[in-house]
Amino acid sequence: MEAAIKMIPCLVDESSSTRAIESCRENENNDIQSGPIQQQSRRMEAVISGSGPQQRMEVETNELNPTPSHENNSEGDIRYKGPLKVYTKRKSRAQVETPITIPEHSSPSSLEIVDVSSSEIENEDSTLDDLPIALRKEARVKAGVPRPRYGFENDIRKKVVSCKWVFSAKQNPEGKVERYKARLVARGYSQTYGIDYDETFASVAKMSTVRMLISCAANFGWPLHQWDVKNAFLHGNLQEEVYMEIPPGFSKPDVAGKVCRLRKSLYGLKQSPRAWFDRFRRALCGMSYKQCNGDHTVFYRHSRRRIVILAVYVDDIIITGDDEAEINRLKEDLSKVFEVKDLGQLKYFLGIEIARSTKGIFLSQRKYVLDLLSETGMLGCRPAPTPIDPNHKLCATSGDPMNKESYQRLVRRLIYLCHTRPDISYAVSVVSRYMHDPWSGHLDAAYRILRYLKNGPGKGLVFKSHGHLNVEGYCDADWASCLDDRRSTSGYCVFVGGNLISWRSKKQPVVSRSSAEAEYRAMSLAISEMMWVKNLLSELYVLRKGPLKLWCDNKSAINIANNPVQHDRTKHVEIDRFFIKEKLDSGVLELRHVNSSNQVADCLTKGLGVKECNETCNKMGMIDIYHSF
């Protein structure tokens, strides 16, 4: 029999080794009238009505009639227990009193008593709203399946995946708790490749793509919307045969020795991200949207010379374009398939704070920087004028050996900060070279970056309207800069519509025998990125015709590219030579010389002085948005 069950966060099972999640108080004089299973199913279906028939749980069990269990504890709680479910009726938020507390900045690690006082529950989203959805919405399971024995059945080894409840507190950009979340997570680390899952890769939007869409919105005056798909991984369709243990809090004597057969994906499974993205992609393509080849997470639709573009990062969606009617229609259509939450204008995306005014669109990670400084105890440090010493001599044995776990954790946080701070990219690239074996000198260099961040935690990128979407780039190289292996450092930055959208600082994979050779390799790296940007913009039909412009400060490298003479000093860079020659001959690319004083990519290859560092930041479009406006 199929029953739609509303599992609210009041799960109690006295026989389980784990305690109850939440206890809802009820007045003793308000007894709940129990009836046949059909009446209870209709009552519970009414609670979750509007979510669609695909959002109910399929339950197969031999025992159809649940036994009502009036269990009154010291607080006067009344609970109803049936096979694989516990249902408690509550009257209103004002009458809900719960005896558990989730600390504001910490989360319980197991199924335990959690207290959310009624004063903290300001709206429905502040409750543990993810707790019931794991089993009632999209995560279709077959309960009562006999436990497969470890062995081979149809030449396939059957395994049973365990699960646990995971609790978290979701915060807003100000650091305040928005709502508490309880999620059923499968222990997917016990799955075996080729048996329990096959492919796991799922595309996410590149940050370069996100910044490119923001630059388009700034130049064309398009709005930027943000949507969120609730419980995205529960929507994926499982192609494999996956069994999972009965979740904690649902164990009953009648299901002893039985397991769940998962029909839909669940958080924690290896294949869940891929299953979710495939489901979302098919849904959008069914709505006449096309998937970009340059970035598979970008979808677009043209209608009546108007365009709507959206980029997907797991369950976060950014939408822009000049067709508001199509955007509203898309939201309605997606809401019929998934539970989509409209977050309004784009303000906070993956830790990046976004503000829009008449002067442009501003991106920063101020909260992220302040949290990082607080965690490392550097809030009261003395600020540094530059991210790295211009005359640094870092090598593999700078200082004394140290604990690598703390160093890796710090550098990992700094790497993510580079999404809006290109001024620290070179310094972070240098300290990340020694994550496998850090010494005290490397840690001092990492702390220097923190001191520089203290100088301007609100500094970020500004995207202004320049009235065009021309693609331009700058490339540079620092010859034999690494003291350990004498490899050179490449750096480039790409502008779309006058706004910086992509940059990179990277040590070259091979040793260059001259500065011209190092610059030539950096040129090839920059052209590859510019070609990707051009192809993506062309696919969206927003790029005007015209060649790409690449600025380089090395005349020897430019001469080799324009006049590829074969001789002993250049024949070992033959692939790069033919790649650049092909782009020049086709008219796609123009190489131009720029003075070293105007080289924007200079800060991506070497440490600069205070004056040069500030000038380069201004050319990149970096300002401190909390002090400049």
Residues 529 and 614 grouped into a single domain: yes
The answer to whether position 349 is within a domain reads no
DSSP class of residue 540 equals T
The answer to whether position 255 is within a domain reads no
pLDDT at 463: 96
The answer to whether position 468 is within a domain reads yes
Residues 280 and 413 grouped into a single domain: no
Residues 423 and 503 grouped into a single domain: no
The answer to whether position 417 is within a domain reads yes
Residues 497 and 438 grouped into a single domain: no
Cα separation, 455 vs 417, in Å, equals 15
Torsions phi, psi for 476 (to 5 deg): -155, 165
Residues 439 and 482 grouped into a single domain: no
Residues 322 and 384 grouped into a single domain: no
pLDDT at 569: 64
Q: What's the domain count of the chain?
A: 3
The answer to whether position 510 is within a domain reads yes
The answer to whether position 356 is within a domain reads no
pLDDT at 65: 34
Residues 481 and 502 grouped into a single domain: yes
Partnered with residue 80 across adjacent β-strands are 87
DSSP class of residue 57 equals -
- Read off the pLDDT of each residue in 106-112 and give the average, rounded to a whole number: 56
- Read off the pLDDT of each residue in 615-620 and give the average, rounded to a whole number: 95
- Whether the per-residue pLDDT at 29 is higher than 90: the answer is no
Highest mean pLDDT, choosing among 69-73, 81-85, 271-275, 395-399: 271-275
Closest to 265 measured CA to CA, from 101, 141, 143: 141
Residues 445 and 473 grouped into a single domain: no
pLDDT at 110: 57
Q: Which residues of 222-259 are buried (b: 16+ CB within 10 A; e: fewer)?
A: bebbbbebbbbbbbbebeeebbbbbbbbbbbeebeebb
Residues 533 and 448 grouped into a single domain: no
The residue from 426, 458, 490 where one domain ends is 458
Model pLDDT for residues 136-178, shown as the tens digit of each residue: 443 444 444 555 433 333 334 578 899 999 888 877 767 778 7
List helix spans (H) across 384-514.
404-417, 425-431, 440-454
Cα separation, 268 vs 249, in Å, equals 19
- Whether the per-residue pLDDT at 37 is higher than 50: the answer is no
The residue from 458, 474, 490 where one domain ends is 458
- Token match 């630059």: residue? 215
CATH of the domain at 322: 3.30.450
The answer to whether position 242 is within a domain reads no
Residues 335 and 387 grouped into a single domain: no
Residues 611 and 556 grouped into a single domain: yes
Residues 606 and 498 grouped into a single domain: yes
- Read off the pLDDT of each residue in 476-487 and give the average, rounded to a whole number: 92
- Read off the pLDDT of each residue in 510-520 and give the average, rounded to a whole number: 91
Model pLDDT for residues 373-414, shown as the tens digit of each residue: 999 999 999 999 999 999 998 999 988 999 899 999 999 999
| Domain interval for residue 540 | 464-622
The residue from 458, 478, 507 where one domain ends is 458
The answer to whether position 399 is within a domain reads yes
